[in-house]
Structure 1
Amino acid sequence: MTASHLWYQSSNPQGPVTVILGSSLGTDRAMWSEQVELLPREWNVVPFDLRGHGLSPLSPQTPTIDDFADDVVSIADELGVDRFAFCGLSIGGVIGQSLAARYPDRISSLVLASTGLTILTRQGLLDRSARVLNEGTAWIAELSAPRWFTDRFRADHPDVVRTKMQHLRRMPARAYSDACLALSEFDGHVIASDIVAPTLVLAGDQDLATPAAGSAELAKAIAGAELRTLPDSAHLCNVEQPELFTDLVREHVEAHR
């Protein structure tokens, strides 16, 4: 299915609960495969591909985080869903902040995983964007593997790691670059007080990409937010701890449906 230019999947369009899943930079909707399997069958679980990721085409111009958030609303509109839960990881969590702050009437509950009020530094993101455009994404795949997954997971599940890295190596350099540029202009400090949706913040205890301290700062900035730390997991904590991650999401969404 497509909402304007986005590719997404809808597991149960008539379901009483809709949960839209926003992926990490450099991944596609397949990163949510276990959540799609483990969340209640009667729910409508909707993973989607960011612009330029997976099957979604490149944006005509460099998008902002607000543009990515507007994309989520366009999916909900196409599904005919007024209120929905949103779970986003990494840049998906940044998108979730914009979404909840700007569309408070649309969000029933919010899960922000492996993310923060900012990600990296503005200059670091600009440098990464420029290098990816010049050299492609192979080097960032090599850098990302030990940041996305713990040593133990990489040893026990080399096939999963290989698949994720192959996707990152194949994705258009401009898609990755555009997302870095969007992140470089985002500062969640200025909108955190506008978020009123019940919020759960999830952090991997071994996340080097978005350290748990940043997740704690994010949870403190959003009124009433709850922080949970997942053990033995790095950046893609939903992949490393699928049962625990999914249980926490299910409980939070169920409590605020």
Structure 2
Amino acid sequence: MAVHYCSEGDTSRPTLILGTSLGADTSMWDPQREYLLDAFHLVTFDMRGHGRSPVSPETPTIHDFADDVVWIADALGVQRFAFCGLSIGGAIGQSLGARYSDRLSSLVLSATGMTIMTPPELRKRADRVLAEGMQYIADVSASRWFTEAFVNDNPEIVRRHMKHLREMNPQGYADACLALSTFDGHGSAGQISVPTLVISGDLDIATPFAKGRALADAIPGARFELMPEASHLCNVESPELFSKLVKEHILVAG
């Protein structure tokens, strides 16, 4: 499916495609531009039903989202690329790693796990946003995405992220919840053969770091990094450290 994407930087450099969290758009990766554009051809995209991408014609799966990433690479004429995904973006990365190892040079999976929440929780969330709209998600997400200290010190950044949540299409959000509800990486993590780094925030309540550690343990040769004083959107809270970990992993992996 054709989704909105943004290609930035020198195309002769290694291509890095970034996959967002549930309920986020490409602006989630704004903090990384300062640190990664000097080394990579950077590609960001909006998942189906998020940002400027259309809602899926049918309820998508995580594999469908992963296929969209390959469609972007094909549209750009990029044969091999590195992928970094956060939260649901990390689930997309797992699908890519298990199904498209010939296209990937390396993989970073952040604030994610082989499952995220439980299927009943995700289906209930999907039903509620379709019935009530996005306001309640925006009301509860700040404390799940960011530490209390970050919320207090960076109110404008937090407001901007919650504004996007409030204004996004409920169907797009619900579809992504339903896609996550049917995803289970336990059977496929062992099939990921590309160099993989798993990053978790030590204060992440949305996807506790134990899930990240278990994911790293299940992927042959994967490395696990725990970011201190960081919650779910650890790339926003600690952009310099997050970007350093990503850059070093990808450049060493080649």
TM-score interval (norm. to shorter): over 0.9
- Could you tell me which runs of 5 or more consecutive residues in structure 2 were left unpaired when the two chains were aligned: none
User: What's the Cα RMSD here?
Assistant: 0.9
Residue 246 of structure 1 aligns with which residue? Answer: 243
Runs of 5+ consecutive residues of structure 1 not aligned to the other structure: none
Write out per-residue CA displacement over residues 168-204 of structure 1, whole angstroms, 9 at most, x where no aligned residue: 0000100000000000000000111110010000000
Note if contact 1:13-1:79 (Cα within 8 Å) is conserved in structure 2: no
Matched, 1:119 2:148: no
Q: Once the 2 structures are TM-superposed, how far is the Cα of residue 85 of structure 1 from its aligned partner? A: 0.2
Return the TM-score normalized by structure 1: 0.97
Task: Say whether 1:187 aligns with 2:180.
Answer: no
Give 3-state SS (helix, strand or coil) of 1:162's partner.
helix
Q: Name the structure 1 match of 2:35.
A: 38
Q: Is the 8 A contact 1:24 1:90 kept in 2?
A: yes
Residue 81 of structure 2 is aligned to residue 84 of structure 1: yes
Instruction: Choose which of 198, 203, 215 in structure 2 pairs with 1:201.
Output: 198
Distance, in Å, in 2 between the alignment partners of 1:42 and 1:206 is 29
Superposition map of 1:137-148 within 5 A: 137-148=134-145
The residue type equivalent to 1:83 in the other structure is R
SS of the residue corresponding to residue 17 of structure 2 reads strand
Residue in 2 aligned with 1:169? 166
Q: CA deviation at 1:15?
A: 2.5
Is the Cα–Cα contact under 8 Å of residues 15 and 42 in structure 1 kept in the other structure? no
Matched residues, percent identical?
57
Taking structure 2 as the reference length, what is the TM-score of the superposition? 0.98
1:42 to partner: Cα distance:
4.6
- Of residues 231, 235, 238, the one that matches 1:234 is 231
> CA shift at 1:5, angstroms?
2.2
The SS at the match of 2:4 is strand
Shift of 1:43: 1.7
Q: Does 2:48 match 1:51?
A: yes
Residue correspondences, number: 254
The residue type paired with residue 200 of structure 1 is L
Would you say the 8 A contact 1:7–1:48 is kept in 2? yes
Mapped contact 1:238–1:246 kept (Cα < 8 A):
yes
Aligned equivalents of 1:254 and 1:40: distance in 2?
13
Equivalent position amino acid for 1:90 in 2: S
| Distance in 2 (alpha carbons) for counterparts of 1:38 and 1:249 | 10
Indicate whether 1:7 and 2:4 are aligned. Answer: yes
1:79-111 Cα deviation digits (max 9, x unpaired)? 111110000000000000001100010110000
Runs of 4+ that moved beyond 3 A: none
For residue 13 of structure 1, report the CA deviation from its aligned partner: 5.4
- Structure 2 contact 9–37 (Cα < 8 Å) conserved: no
1:100 paired to 2:97 = yes
